[in-house]
């Protein structure tokens, strides 16, 4: 039995090809995922992300609880509406999920977690919250639409009333604001500017239609994947999972180390960090023909690695990938990937390929 | 249901074959096949002059989703390849039975065309997938 978002009928109406995405029937594309990709890099596209899980954490201990639960430190957040990207680890330092935390007050936060990990995330959060004075509430009554691209904000602006316009006026990246019924955040998964808008499910089809009428291109999971990969953003389940630490998933930058704060997984991660033995996640580029794909073996002079995500980059016109390789591999090194029974040279770079409409390396 | 022109012949591995006369055929992949593969990003074609046998993997269609072998649907010699696919692999998506053609073969045995599927036979083979 697959779930359908409230926008399902709009996808069918727009000619979407639907696929099963971890139990959700979601659009993979509406014809051409490459055209959808270009729409986001060059103009404006929108994604139905209603399958994602919104969880509100409130109560006297909300801040203390989140300082324990996630590897980044919510104490950094001191302006209402500010957002924070973080990992949530188990006691062994494995990544249970990556998520965004939105801060409203010290007793009021919102988390947005992946849909594929919803059940285990909710169970973990419930278990860990037992000793804290917090209430954890899932918000399935919200739909969510991501509008992304250089023209995304301008196109959304044509649909907002005066109050909403004032609420988003001058909003910096990684902020959020409640504007009437709309929860509007300057976050996303594409490397372009834009909004992620959560709203009551019953209003979602109307907003989708208005965005369509404003010239925003509907985009499926196919374009979502090539856009996030170009932007160097991890996909849970491919680039990391519970068997992988943040140190091996290019997420070390999200860990805040300080003596007094004891977050879950800290002890193990500190040990691994000191040992320096964890592999690392790098970017690979292949400028000749062929497409790097998830699971392919990477051969380096320091040992083997593996491609965690690979694709054809529509912006660059060649293949790109993220790969987990031995820590001794350096940026600018040439390593090899085994493709269709041949070893092919690829270049190692930082995992950031294209953002804001252009090449990022 | 995708388009399956009745004037063409087909292989179960999703190649179409157009009889151009004089023992020459044009080969491409069907609309159904390109729909399964999604946006095409590279097409690797055989060498002109190469001898191919029915069932040989002679080309590769690489899409955003997967790399897929293209098989020679007949035996003969490669006469010509569609060089436009080098810069515009998306022609396979936009016009699978026309501008998205892949290569031409000079048949060794013209009788071999009879052993390929007709449109109805191919439609049935897709239904069984």
Q: What is the 3-state secondary structure (H, E, C) of chain A?
A: CCEECCCHHHHHHCCCEEEEECCEEEEEECCCHHHHHHHHHHCCEEEECCCCEEEEEECCCHHHHHHHHCCCCHHHCCCCCEEEEEEEECCCCCEEEEEEEEEEECCEEEEEECCCCHHHHHHHHHHHHHHCCCEEEECCCEEEEEEECCCHHHHHHCCCCHHHHHHHCCCCCCEEEEECCEEEECCCCCCCCEEEEEEEHHHHHHHHHHHHHCCCEECCHHHHHHHHHHCCCCCECCCECCCCCHHHCCCHHHCCCCCCCCCCCHHHHHHHHHHCCCCEEEEEEECCCCCCCCCCEEEECCEEEEEEEEEEECCCCEEEEEEEECCCCCCCCEEEEEECCEEEEEEEECCCCEECCEECC
Residues A330 and A241 in one domain: no
Domain shared by A158 and A301, yes or no = no
Query: Does one domain contain both A260 and A286?
Result: no
Q: What is the structure's pLDDT at B1?
A: 59
Cα A11 to Cα A201: distance, rounded to the nearest angstrom:
15
- Check residue A76 and give its pLDDT: 96
Provide the pLDDT for residue B2: 81
Answer yes or no: do A13 and A64 share one domain: yes
Q: Name the average pLDDT for chain A.
A: 97
Question: Which of A28, A32, A290 is nearest residue B62 as measured by Cβ atoms?
Answer: A290
When divided into structural domains, chain B yields a total of: 1
Q: Say what the pLDDT of residue A92 is.
A: 98
- Residue B114 DSSP one-character state: G
- Classify residue B43: in a domain, yes or no: yes
User: Could you tell me which residues of chain B have a Cβ less than 8 Å from any Cβ in chain A?
Assistant: 38-39, 41-42, 44, 60, 62, 64-67, 90, 93
Asked if the structure places residue B2 within a domain, the reply is no
List chain B residues with CB under 8 Å of A19. none
- Counting the structural domains of chain A, the total is 2
Provide the pLDDT for residue B129: 58
Do the beta carbons of residue B82 and residue B45 sit within 8 Å? yes
| Cβ neighbours of A340 in B, within 8 Å | 60, 67
Could you report the per-residue pLDDT of A11-58, keeping only the tens digit for each? Answer: 999 999 999 999 999 999 999 999 999 999 999 999 999 999 999 999
Taking CB atoms and an 8 Å cutoff, what residues of chain A touch B39?
29, 32-34, 222
Sorted by sequence, the CB contacts under 8 Å of residue A310 that are 6+ apart come out as A229, A284, A291, A292, A293, A294, A296, A319, A320, A321, A322
Q: Are residues A93 and A151 located together in one domain of the fold? A: yes
Q: Kindly provide the b/e burial profile for residues A302-338, where b requires at least 16 CB atoms within 10 angstroms of the residue's own CB.
A: eeebebbbbbbbbbbebbbbbbbbbeebeeebebebe
Query: In this complex, which of B42, B60, B64 lies closest to A311 when CB atoms are compared?
Result: B64
Given A275, A303, A323, the domain boundary residue is A275
Residues in chain A closer than 8 A to B96 (CB atoms): none
- Are the beta carbons of A33 and B39 separated by less than 8 Å? yes
Last-in-domain residue among A223, A245, A275: A275
DSSP three-state, residue B88: coil
Binding residues of A: 196
From the list B41, B44, B93, the residue facing A312 with the nearest CB is B41
B38: enclosing H helix or E strand: none
- Chain B, nearest residue to A340 by Cα: B67
Within chain A, which residues score under 50 in pLDDT? none
Residue B18's φ and ψ, nearest 5 degrees, are: -110, 130
Residue A81, token pair as written in the block: 């509406």
Whose CA is closest to A31, among B32, B38, B40, B43?
A: B38
Task: Tell me how far CA of residue A30 lies from CA of A14, A36, A260, in angstroms.
Answer: 7, 8, 50
* Domain containing residue A318: CATH number: 2.40.30.110
In a domain, residue B4? The reply is: no
Known binding-site residues of A for substrate equal 196
Residue B129 DSSP one-character state: -
Asked if the structure places residue B1 within a domain, the reply is: no
Nearest to A222 among B62, B64, B90 (CB): B64
How many cross-chain Cβ pairs, A to B, lie less than 8 Å apart?
38
If asked whether residues A318 and A226 sit together in one domain, one would say: no
> Domain range spanning residue B31?
9-128
Whether residues A340 and B39 touch (CB distance < 8 A) is answered with: no
Q: Show which residues on chain A lie within 8 Å of chain B, measured between beta carbons.
A: 28-29, 32-34, 222, 226, 289-291, 293, 311-312, 340
Q: What is the dihedral of CA A188, A191, A331, A94, to 10 degrees?
A: 10
Ranges of H-type helices in chain B:
31-37, 84-87, 91-94, 119-128
Q: Could you give the strand order of the β-sheet that contains A108-113, starting from the edge strand earlier in sequence?
A: A83-89, A95-105, A108-113, A53-58, A135-138
Predicted local confidence at residue A341, as pLDDT:
82
Chain B contact set for A33 (CB, 8 A): 38-39, 64
Residue A252 shares a structural domain with residue A308: no
The token pair that represents A303 in the structure block: 């040992």
Q: Are A312 and B64 inside 8 Å of each other by CB?
A: yes
Is there a contact between A290 and A339 (Cβ–Cβ < 8 Å)?
yes
Q: Point out the domain boundary residue: A238, A260, A275.
A: A275
| Closest-approach residue (CA) in chain A for B37 | A32
Tokens of A255: 């860990």
Domain span at residue A350?
279-359
Scanning every residue of chain B, which has its alpha carbon at the shortest distance from the alpha carbon of A293?
Answer: B66
Secondary structure class of B86 (helix, strand, coil): helix
Residues A175 and A96 grouped into a single domain? yes
At A110 the pLDDT is 98
Closest-CA distance, A224 to chain B, in angstroms, reads 12
Using a CB-CB distance cutoff of 8 angstroms, which residues of chain A are in contact with residue B38? 28-29, 33, 222
Q: What is the distance between the alpha carbons of residues A240 and A113, in angstroms, rounded to a whole number?
A: 14
The domain that holds A119 is classified in CATH as: 3.30.1360.120
pLDDT at A56: 98
Token pair in block for residue A322: 């993220």
CATH of the domain at B55: 2.40.50.100
pLDDT for residue A340: 81
Phi-psi label, residue B6: left if phi above 0, alpha if psi -120 to 50, beta otherwise: alpha
**Percent of chain A, pLDDT > 70?**
100
Residue ranges in chain B modelled with pLDDT below 50: none
């Amino acid at each position: 039995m697959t779930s359908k978002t409230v926008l399902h009928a709009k996808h069918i109406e727009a000619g979407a090809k639907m696929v099963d995405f971890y139990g959700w029937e979601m659009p993979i594309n509406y014809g051409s995922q490459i055209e959808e990709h270009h729409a986001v890099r060059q103009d404006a596209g929108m994604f139905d992300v209603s399958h994602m899980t919104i969880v509100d954490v409130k109560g006297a201990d909300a801040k203390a609880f989140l300082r324990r639960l996630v590897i980044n430190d919510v104490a950094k957040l001191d302006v209402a509406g500010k957002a924070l990207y973080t990992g949530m680890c188990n006691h062994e330092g494995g990544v249970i999920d990556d998520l965004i935390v939105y801060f409203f007050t010290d007793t009021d936060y919102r988390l947005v977690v992946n849909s594929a990990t919803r059940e285990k995330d909710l169970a973990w959060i419930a278990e860990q919250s037992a000793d804290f004075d917090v209430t954890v509430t899932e918000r399935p009554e919200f739909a969510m639409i991501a509008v992304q691209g250089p023209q995304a904000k301008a196109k959304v602006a044509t649909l907002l009333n005066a109050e909403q316009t004032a609420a988003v006026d001058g909003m910096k990246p990684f902020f959020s604001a409640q504007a009437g019924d709309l929860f509007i955040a300057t976050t996303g998964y594409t490397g372009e500017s834009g909004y992620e808008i959560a709203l009551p499910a019953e209003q979602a089809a109307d907003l989708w239609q208005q965005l369509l009428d404003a010239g925003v291109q509907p985009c499926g999971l196919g374009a979502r994947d090539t856009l996030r990969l170009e932007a160097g953003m991890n996909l849970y389940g491919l680039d990391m999972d519970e068997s992988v630490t943040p140190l091996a998933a290019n997420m070390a930058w999200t860990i805040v180390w300080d003596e007094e704060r004891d977050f879950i997984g800290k002890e193990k991660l500190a040990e691994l960090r000191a040992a320096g033995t964890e592999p690392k996640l790098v970017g690979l580029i292949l400028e000749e023909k062929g497409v790097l794909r998830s699971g392919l073996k990477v051969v380096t002079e320091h040992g083997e690695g593996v491609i965690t995500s690979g694709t054809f980059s529509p912006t660059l016109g060649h293949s790109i990938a993220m790969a987990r390789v031995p820590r001794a591999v350096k940026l600018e090194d040439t390593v090899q990937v085994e493709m269709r029974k041949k070893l092919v040279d690829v270049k190692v770079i930082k995992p950031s390929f294209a953002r804001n409409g252009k090449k990022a390396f | 249901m995708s388009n399956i022109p009745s004037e063409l012949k087909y292989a179960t591995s999703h190649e179409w074959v157009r009889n151009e006369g004089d023992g020459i055929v044009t080969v491409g992949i069907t609309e159904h096949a390109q729909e399964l593969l999604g946006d095409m990003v590279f097409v690797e074609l055989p060498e002109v002059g190469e001898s191919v046998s029915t069932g040989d993997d002679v080309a590769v269609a690489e899409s955003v989703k997967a790399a897929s072998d293209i098989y020679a649907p007949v035996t003969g010699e490669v006469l010509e390849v569609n060089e436009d696919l080098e810069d515009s692999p998306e022609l396979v998506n936009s016009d699978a039975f026309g501008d998205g053609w892949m290569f031409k073969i000079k048949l060794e045995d013209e009788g071999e065309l009879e052993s390929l599927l007709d449109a109805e036979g191919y439609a049935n083979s897709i239904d069984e997938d």
